[in-house]
Amino acid sequence: MKVLMVVHQFPPQYMTGTELYAMDLALNLVAAGHSVSILSAAAHWGHHPDYHEWTEAYRGLDVHYVQATRPLFPNRVLAEYYRPFLAKRLVELLERERFDVVHFFHFLHLGVSLVEETWARGVPCVVNLMDFWTICPRITLLKPSHEICGGPDSIPECLRCMRDVEWSGYDMLGVAIDDGILTEADLSRAVPAERLLPNDSSLAAQTAAARARASTIRKSLSRASAIISPSRFLRSMLVKNGWREDSMRVLGYAVAEALAPASDGPPAGAMRFGYMGSLVPHKGPHVLVEAFRKLAWPEATLTMYGDPRTDREHTIRLRELADGDPRIRFAGPYARHEIRRVHSEIDVLVAPSVWYENTPFVMLEAQAAGIPVVASRLGGLAEIVEDGKSGFLFEAGSADDLAKVLARFRDDPALWSKLRRGVPPVKRMNEHIRELVALYEEICAHTPVS
């Protein structure tokens, strides 16, 4: 099987969960005897029109890059989700390499028109839904006020969230509303399905692009041979926002084969709680620090693993909340090859997110290592943790409720062992590769030969 994977960023220093997952799949597909190449955007924030494309080797993979500066996209609202001329690079690869399947992982800096070009050339493709970008330009469904959004009921609602995002185009629309040139009613009118969205900087063009975002993305992705949602919750949110339930199939993530039970248990009378992830507000590390400070348990410890440079302001806030508590340690980031060491240093992983997490890899990896997980009762997290059996769920954003859950480990010394026995088996990568190859073969069998 010859596969082209499309990932919005692929240089290792910028890798987030999306890129790491795509990279793991690519390397494991190659190990299983398949051929894999990567198409990726190389973001560039230059102020002059400029376009480049090149190919580099990364761990035996051919990575084909496209780099386009922002001035090439006068319609900034449209460019956030639809960049037709970038498909030129994809078309060249499809015609030259004759891939069997194209597997899309994200469309940031690339645009959904790539799916249309793939479909037009009769090449089967899979779209992996990694987050809520298809219905939320902020990706997280989290408002600037940190309130959770159930999905955009109107374009004006999205404008209120996006207007302060530099270079988004929504800032221009916000100013037009403030000046009385544009009304919220203007933004709410439907755009005719056949209308071509112009790539110019006029107010009319950017207004049309905002109005057409949801329908354009949904229409473009409907061309895919298969759409994968890694959680039932993500699929349910898309259905709530106009997607057909039967257009998506749920296929969960997997973890590396090397992970194994990490420790024999906490020291007598103590417990080592841990956080692994970005130190950013929507991940909720502040909720965990606040909760732990409420915990009357001198022997317990909390280790926060995460890069303080990701959000320096929030890291300062976390240290202020910790207030010098000697039980709390900020351990900094860890490399992927250090994950077994990190697992050996914690007994309970806490995932205190305050947004609709989908399927965090750190939770799956912890369970693969036999570590019970305490998580917010929110989004896809409840699909991973069985409350009271493999871990606990608590009210999202509530430090008081989380503190009560943490105290249960103090009050019941046998609880940790009980939960560990309840940690479910986690799907491993070799099984996941077989699932994906079977899916590739299925869609290839149903695609007419051109």
More confident residue, 71 or 414: 414
**The dihedral formed by the CA atoms of 264, 267, 271 and 272, expressed in degrees to the nearest 10:** -70
pLDDT-derived band at 327 (thresholds 50, 70, 90) equals very high
**The dihedral formed by the CA atoms of 19, 21, 22 and 28, expressed in degrees to the nearest 10:** 140
More confident residue, 359 or 321: 321
Confidence at residue 357, expressed as pLDDT on a 0 to 100 scale: 85
Mean pLDDT of 307-319: 93
Confidence at residue 449, expressed as pLDDT on a 0 to 100 scale: 60
Q: Do both 94 and 218 map to the same domain? A: yes
pLDDT-above-90 percentage for the chain:
64
Please list, in sequence order, all residues whose beta carbon lies within 8 angstroms of the beta carbon of residue 428, skipping any fewer than 6 positions away. Answer: 254, 255, 256, 257, 368
Please list, in sequence order, all residues whose beta carbon lies within 8 angstroms of the beta carbon of residue 351, skipping any fewer than 6 positions away. Answer: 275, 277, 357, 360, 362, 363, 373, 374, 375, 376, 381
Q: Do both 108 and 233 map to the same domain? A: yes
Q: Do both 110 and 223 map to the same domain? A: yes
DSSP string, 78-145: HHTT--GGGHHHHHHHHHHH--SEEEE---TTT-THHHHHHHHTT--EEEE--SSTTT-TTSS-B-TT
Mean pLDDT of 370-387: 94
pLDDT, the chain, mean: 90
Rg of the Cα atoms in the chain: 23
Three-state DSSP class for residue 377: coil
Distance CA 364, CA 409 (A): 21
Q: Do both 310 and 366 map to the same domain? A: yes
pLDDT(12) > 60: no
In 232-292, where do the E strands start and end? 249-250, 272-276
With respect to residue 201, please indicate whether it lies within any of the assigned structural domains.
no
Q: What's the pLDDT tens digit per position in 199-242?
A: 899 998 999 999 899 889 999 999 999 999 999 999 999 999 88
Distance CA 360, CA 357 (A): 7
Q: Do both 237 and 369 map to the same domain? A: no
Q: Which residue matches tokens 């793939």?
A: 118
Q: Do both 374 and 439 map to the same domain? A: no
Mean pLDDT of 318-326: 96
pLDDT-derived band at 48 (thresholds 50, 70, 90) equals confident
Q: Do both 242 and 132 map to the same domain? A: yes
Q: What is the pTM of this model?
A: 0.91
Using alpha carbons only, what angle is made at residue 361 by residues 237 and 261, rounded to the nearest 5 degrees? 140
Mean pLDDT of 405-434: 95
Confidence at residue 9, expressed as pLDDT on a 0 to 100 scale: 82
In 216-319, where do the E strands start and end? 226-229, 249-250, 272-276, 301-305
Q: Which of 354, 107, 359 is nearest to 233 (CA)?
A: 359
Mean pLDDT of 82-110: 92
Residue 321 identity = L
Residue 150 identity = G
Q: Which of 162-176, 198-212, 255-269, 431-445 has the largest mean confidence?
A: 431-445
Q: Would you tell me how many other CB atoms lie within 10 Å of the CB of residue 266? A: 20
With respect to residue 166, please indicate whether it lies within any of the assigned structural domains.
no
Q: Do both 418 and 298 map to the same domain? A: yes
Q: Do both 29 and 107 map to the same domain? A: yes
**Tokens at 329, concatenated:** 């340690």
Strand partners, 67: 52
With respect to residue 203, please indicate whether it lies within any of the assigned structural domains.
no
Confidence at residue 450, expressed as pLDDT on a 0 to 100 scale: 55
Q: Do both 319 and 400 map to the same domain? A: yes
Confidence at residue 411, expressed as pLDDT on a 0 to 100 scale: 96
Question: What domain count does the chain have?
Answer: 2
Q: Which residue matches tokens 């990701």?
A: 310
Range of the domain at 133: 2-144+213-254+430-445
With respect to residue 185, please indicate whether it lies within any of the assigned structural domains.
no
**CATH code: domain of residue 77:** 3.40.50.2000
Distance CA 159, CA 171 (A): 8
Q: How far is CA 70 from CA 51, 53, 108, 379, in A?
A: 10, 15, 13, 34
DSSP string, 33-66: T-EEEEEEE-----SS--EEEEEEEETTEEEEEE
**Tokens at 144, concatenated:** 């600037």
**The dihedral formed by the CA atoms of 89, 90, 95 and 101, expressed in degrees to the nearest 10:** 160
Q: What's the pLDDT tens digit per position in 130-160?
A: 999 999 998 888 888 888 887 776 788 888 8
Using alpha carbons only, what angle is made at residue 15 by residues 338 and 306, rounded to the nearest 5 degrees? 50
With respect to residue 163, please indicate whether it lies within any of the assigned structural domains.
no
Mean pLDDT of 315-324: 95
Q: Which of 407, 153, 383, 210 is nearest to 291 (CA)?
A: 407
Calculate the CA 184 to chain-centre distance. 30
Q: Do both 26 and 103 map to the same domain? A: yes
Q: Do both 44 and 20 map to the same domain? A: yes
- Helix, strand, coil fractions of the chain, as percent rounded to 5: 40, 15, 45
Q: What's the pLDDT tens digit per position in 53-86?
A: 999 999 999 999 999 888 889 999 999 999 988 8
Confidence at residue 153, expressed as pLDDT on a 0 to 100 scale: 65
Q: Which of 426, 286, 444, 253 is nearest to 352 (CA)?
A: 286
In terms of DSSP H, where are the helices of 323-414? 339-344, 361-368, 381-384, 399-411
Confidence at residue 363, expressed as pLDDT on a 0 to 100 scale: 94
With respect to residue 68, please indicate whether it lies within any of the assigned structural domains.
yes
Q: Which helix (H) or strand (E) holds 235?
A: helix 232-240
With respect to residue 207, please indicate whether it lies within any of the assigned structural domains.
no
With respect to residue 79, please indicate whether it lies within any of the assigned structural domains.
yes
Confidence at residue 370, expressed as pLDDT on a 0 to 100 scale: 93
pLDDT(360) > 90: no
